Amino acid sequence: MEDRSHKVLLALVMLFLFAVIVLQYVCPGTECQLLRLRALSPAAAADPYRAEDETPARFVPRFNFSAGDLLRRVDFNIKGDDLIVFLHIQKTGGTTFGRHLVRNIQLEQPCECRAGQKKCTCHRPGKRETWLFSRFSTGWSCGLHADWTELTNCVPSVVDSKKEVRLRPSRNFYYITILRDPVSRYLSEWRHVQRGATWKASLHVCDGRSPTTEELPSCYTGDDWSGCSLQEFMDCPYNLANNRQVRMLSDLSLVGCYNLSVMPEEQRNKVLLDSAKENLKRMAFFGLTEFQRKTQYLFEKTFNMNFISPFTQYNSTRASSVEIDGQTQQRIEALNFLDMELYDYAKDLFLQRYQYMRQKEHQEARRKRQEQRKILRAKQAHLREQGENSSSTDYIGNVERWRR
């Protein structure tokens, strides 16, 4: 009985080795190395970008985007003059993503981050000039949490402020940002304000000036709004948390900045939303907090830069610990109705881009495998031909010897 079990085990081992040899013969290329590793490690066989969130197994697009809208690959020249500009919207996970940019990217010359210092030095290879404009590289050079309107007007002048106009290089500015589910983001901002955050240092510059106190009143009278209840937070009509993502991604100069008397509210809302959608679509890259691994994948494909460690999907946050009833949920959604529409649009575009890029990747891998098979078949045919010629030569030589 024991001999029989040993024979069965030996047969299984031989069958496995035979399968590996066949796979090596049929598919010798580098792409198949991954297949072999997956065959040896079932736990690694799953797509690492697929099971991180609640994405439907079969995503059904709602919006029509062109191939140009979906394909995001920029020719970012880190050794040249190109600049990545990170638009950091409050409570979207931007701090985590910002740290990835300065500490977690494989670079010829990594950012220099010293213990105890918030900012890192991110110089181009061989130059004393930054390739990244962000909180953790250049600081809040255009103001605390500067928005689209501020950054697009401020960054070029800040970066080249010490150079004469005629000596300034022709740069490509690649804007990137992170968005988050509006309800979760709103609750997270409330909790942050409740702990004493104010962002009073934000400039809100638009058309060359900051808003007046009449244009942008404060929700509180003291030094901060610490301890405010969620009800108080929702009741303030001037609260910048409302529709923050739309406001920070739109061109505010189109609506008269913070002057609400320039146009009717309904028209203003439409202009802001349309502007935010267009700016988001034209950005080099944007990610979503709820899709960390997909965000990593799309950034890597867009900029041809790879992260050292994979992103982690954190489903437990301060916002997720806040329990609200259905009525409060509806109130927050109503206060952020523009952000809700923008996020639906962004999520659809994001997932379509992910699908499109993965399809392109699979098509390219398939094309390489086909080329490798053609090369292999050509080699085999050449070897067979050599073998036949050799046999024919040997036969003729033998015939000549027999005749003698």
Residue 379's SS3 state is: helix
A 10 A CB-CB count for 232 gives 15
Residue 177's SS3 state is: strand
Q: In the structure encoding, which two tokens stand for residue 306, read together? A: 């790879």
A 10 A CB-CB count for 81 gives 17
Q: What is the DSSP letter of 87?
A: E
Is 145 tagged catalytic?
yes
- Of the candidates 164, 163, 100, 162, the one whose C-alpha atom is nearest the C-alpha of residue 132 is 100
> Do the beta carbons of residue 224 and residue 198 sit within 8 Å?
yes
A 10 A CB-CB count for 374 gives 10
Beta strand 173-179 with 83-87: parallel, antiparallel or unpaired? parallel
Query: Position of tokens 């990170």?
Result: 86
User: Dihedral of the CA atoms 86, 92, 95, 101 (nearest 10)?
Assistant: -40
Rounded to whole angstroms, the Cα distance separating 235 from 148 reads: 27
Residue 317's SS3 state is: coil
Rounded to whole angstroms, the Cα distance separating 152 from 83 reads: 12
User: Dihedral of the CA atoms 43, 48, 54, 58 (nearest 10)?
Assistant: -100
A 10 A CB-CB count for 352 gives 18
Residues 6+ apart with CB under 8 A from 285: 72, 174, 176, 298, 299, 302, 303
Residue 65's SS3 state is: coil
- Of the candidates 35, 49, 110, the one whose C-alpha atom is nearest the C-alpha of residue 310 is 49
65: left (phi over 0), alpha (psi -120 to 50) or beta: beta
Alpha helices in 136-282 (DSSP H): 148-159, 182-194, 230-235, 244-249, 265-282
Catalytic annotation, pick one of 88, 145, 362, 382: 145
Residues with active-site annotation? 145
